Structure 1
Amino acid sequence: MAALFGLKSMTYWGNLTSLTWRCQKLAVTVFDQQKALKPLVCTTQKRQMSRVKRRHTRPPFWLPKTTRTPYPEDITPENEAFLSEVITKQYSSPLKSEPWERGLWNEKSTRCGVIARKLGIYPLWTKDGRRLLTTLLQVSDNHVIKYIPPEELTENDMKKKKRYREVGALIVGADSMDPRMVTKEYFSIFSTTGILPKKKLNKFLVTPNAKLAPGTPLYASHFQPGKYVDVAGVTIDRGFQGVMKRWGFKGMPASHGVTKSHRRGGNIGSGGEKARVLPGQKMPGHMGRERRVLRGLKVWRINTVHNVLWVQGPAIPGPTGAYVCIYDSILPHRKHTAESHPPFPTFFQDEQETDEELYDKNLHIFSQPSISFVEN
């Protein structure tokens, strides 16, 4: 063995082996001491490049299934009517417990948002004759499901974000569904609240003074005309598309020597020493199904009977009927003041009276005359 490694004698080899063993023992001892003092931490690398997958078409494995597979139970029409009556009586009063103490608004307060459905685009006109395109968003059957205090939210946060202020979370659900059609795991979320299971759930970060009791209904009057909101949603899923539709490329000429390359992207400029595809290169791929947030959209009109909001612009993400989240705008020049802050923590429509139609002061109301005659 000594001749194999070029050693002159076995004594040198034995000393080297002994020294190596002592170093390994010392390293193990130091590692054990450090392990006893500090727990083992697993770190993961996060890559900020365009080739990382940004959308997931399948839900995660740990997410409980919402609906179950129905099977024939051979229930008579009389029993079906009886079950529907029992469900109606059991969930007729959502707020089981007493209402919580309502906090007071301050400059650092953050209210809860609502979940709405996109209905379509509708034109409006201002008093000076300017035409506007707005999007109708209906706040459909929103209820508070659960309040998560700041301590519990920080403890269960998987990303371990460092927050610059103390915030909790409110779980809000929209559109009730038949409890007989949901799984037992999903129904357990609503069993303590006393409301019907919801089709859509979302979490909103709120300050402790803006918390709401589970079961509190939320309406479109949660906002006011003339105020500004942020709308978040998921864009339409276009599937796999080429560069002309996905990135707006001009394409190749339609004739004069072009053969089967009319809609191709052409050269990507990665020759020479680069010899690779640069990250972020515009190429064919999956288009759409991305989360987008539009900030600073003005609320022009509110219908408190059908809970519909007329929001500025036709570019709300998602198809017709898609769910979007609406919350107060976080833009610095659109924040609320002490003189003109919205209802806090929300507008309790069952306790306070309000008009059926609420308009912005600059919006033309078609039920009112547009021409006035003055006698000289």
Structure 2
Amino acid sequence: MAMASITSSFLNLQKNILEISVQTCITQQIRGKKRLNIPKLRYPTWFVRKERVLHDEKISQENSEFIKDVISEKFGPPAIIGGIQTYNTPLKTEPLKSVEWTPGLRRTGTIAKKIGIYPMWLKDGTKISTTLLQIVDNHVVKYIPPDEYHQTRERVIKIRGTPKGCVLVGAESDDPSLYTREYCGLFEKSGLPPKKFLARFFISPSAALSPGTPLTALHYRVGDYIDVRGKTVDRGFQGVIKRWGFKGGRASHGTTKTHRRPGNIGGGGEKGRVWPGTKMPGHMGNTWRMLKGLKIWRINTKYNVLWVSGQNVPGSTNSYVYIYDTILPSKPVTNPPFPTHVDKPDEVLPENIYDEEVHRFSDPTITFQPE
């Protein structure tokens, strides 16, 4: 008994010493006295494991249909492709009200799916290329005020000089039985079904939205400029010709085995080394990239589709991207729907909204004037 008590006390002493040493190391690292290899928080606080291991071999067809009926009764029918499902969440007690917008305020963004490219023509005959981005079933899951969000962080996130809060947005509702209990717990308070994709957006406190608020394509306006962030297509290991656009060697007489090689990569004399940043073969793609200042030419209100300028939006077809209001000072956003679009009871919106410069196919292309 005496030996067991001594062993337990020794283990407790070791545990206390370890906790004190770890706390001291963290304090020294925060104060900048010492740089230690302490692992950083890789994922935010709301991140949990999403997918679960499916074992459906013991579930009969009747039970699976019963589960679908229960999910439909709790959350309603699934949203149509591109549509928005409105949920009666317990936290959404008051109707959404518009707030007066002032320069410097930041509102939330949206999650969209890249569904392809499409040509358009302007009224002067110019042909432009556009990319179609579909905002699929976006809802606000959670809002964290600035004080609460920055309690566990050393650096306060400031955009345009003022502290910002954090809003969690989810896209594309899915079957709760396909996800873990911890992941489904993120949506329990908001009364939403689990979402396939989540994103954080830093916003001004005056742009806060209650959980369950839907975000549609009318969150933006035709003629505004946006920034689109996505992950580029993974090309794997590629050479310098495909990766960097090198011309390559000669194909004529006298060239041997150097047709697609980079050539000389070092300097001569005292600088005989490879400089950092030299364009070399390597992994191509699978990196985050943001395109700024893309103009919205057309909006489809039925399927929540945006036609934005350019066809180099990062990502492959059916990949997801994040849309923000542009931060370019040369293309400022003036008086947007703040904090988001508010549906009016007597308002009837057209299915397609075009920019003034875009030619509509329903309009005549040739007009005749009397002599």
TM-score, with length taken from structure 2 = 0.81
Task: Give 1:15's aligned residue.
Answer: none
Query: Cα distance 1:218–1:162, how it changes in 2: closer, same or farther (>3 A)?
Result: closer
Counterparts of residues 9-158 of structure 1 (less than 5 Å):
39-42=27-30, 43=32, 64-92=48-76, 93-97=87-91, 98-99=93-94, 102-157=98-153
Give, in angstroms, the shift of residue 94 of structure 1: 4.4
Contact 1:227 1:298 in 2 (8 A): yes
CA–CA separation in structure 1 for the residues paired with 2:203 and 2:356: 30
Contact 1:221 1:349 in 2 (8 A): no
Give, in angstroms, the shift of residue 156 of structure 1: 3.3
Are 2:247 and 1:250 equivalent residues in the alignment? yes
Which residue identity lines up with residue 354 of structure 2 in the other structure? Y
Question: 1:40 aligns to what SS in structure 2?
Answer: helix
Query: Cα distance 1:219–1:167, how it changes in 2: closer, same or farther (>3 A)?
Result: same
Are 2:184 and 1:200 equivalent residues in the alignment? no
Query: Cα distance 1:147–1:60, how it changes in 2: closer, same or farther (>3 A)?
Result: closer
The 10-residue stretch of structure 1 (316-325 or 159-168) with the greater mean CA deviation from structure 2: 159-168
Give, in angstroms, the shift of residue 153 of structure 1: 2.2
| Structure 1 residue runs without a partner (length 5+) | 1-34, 46-58
Are 2:278 and 1:278 equivalent residues in the alignment? no
Give, in angstroms, the shift of residue 161 of structure 1: 4.7
CA–CA separation in structure 1 for the residues paired with 2:155 and 2:50: 25
| Sequence identity percentage | 48
Question: 1:343 aligns to what SS in structure 2?
Answer: coil
Give, in angstroms, the shift of residue 302 of structure 1: 0.4
Contact 1:166 1:207 in 2 (8 A): yes
Contact 2:157 2:164 in 1 (8 A): no
Which residue identity lines up with residue 310 of structure 2 in the other structure? G
Which residue identity lines up with residue 307 of structure 1 in the other structure? N
Structure 1 stretches of 4+ with a deviation exceeding 6 A read 59-62
Contact 1:116 1:138 in 2 (8 A): yes
Are 2:234 and 1:240 equivalent residues in the alignment? no
User: Alpha-carbon deviations, 1:68-99, whole Å to 9, x = none?
Assistant: 11113533333322211111121132432213
Contact 1:105 1:209 in 2 (8 A): no
Contact 1:299 1:312 in 2 (8 A): yes
Which residue identity lines up with residue 175 of structure 1 in the other structure? E
Are 2:354 and 1:346 equivalent residues in the alignment? no
CA–CA separation in structure 2 for the residues paired with 1:72 and 1:121: 39
Which residue identity lines up with residue 65 of structure 1 in the other structure? R
CA–CA separation in structure 2 for the residues paired with 1:140 and 1:350: 22
Contact 1:94 1:216 in 2 (8 A): no
Match of 1:365 among 341, 360, 363: 360
Query: Cα distance 1:274–1:159, how it changes in 2: closer, same or farther (>3 A)?
Result: farther
Give, in angstroms, the shift of residue 310 of structure 1: 0.5
| Structure 2 residue runs without a partner (length 5+) | 1-22, 36-41, 77-86
Which residue identity lines up with residue 28 of structure 2 in the other structure? L
Counterparts of residues 213-362 of structure 1 (less than 5 Å):
213-337=210-334, 341-349=335-343, 351=345, 352-362=347-357
Question: 1:294 aligns to what SS in structure 2?
Answer: strand
Question: 2:69 aligns to what SS in structure 1?
Answer: helix
Give, in angstroms, the shift of residue 192 of structure 1: 1.4
CA–CA separation in structure 1 for the residues paired with 2:243 and 2:249: 16
Report which of the two structures shows the higher radius of gyration computed on alpha carbons. 1
Which residue identity lines up with residue 374 of structure 1 in the other structure? Q
Query: Cα distance 1:157–1:94, how it changes in 2: closer, same or farther (>3 A)?
Result: farther
CA–CA separation in structure 2 for the residues paired with 1:239 and 1:94: 45
TM-score, with length taken from structure 1 = 0.80
Query: Cα distance 1:308–1:331, how it changes in 2: closer, same or farther (>3 A)?
Result: same
* Aligned residue pair count: 326
Which residue identity lines up with residue 61 of structure 2 in the other structure? P
Task: Give 1:165's aligned residue.
Answer: 162
Contact 1:102 1:209 in 2 (8 A): no
Task: Tell me how large the CA RMSD over aligned residues is.
Answer: 2.6
CA–CA separation in structure 2 for the residues paired with 1:39 and 1:235: 39
CA–CA separation in structure 2 for the residues paired with 1:166 and 1:234: 28
User: Alpha-carbon deviations, 1:136-174, whole Å to 9, x = none?
Assistant: 100011111111111122223365556521211111111
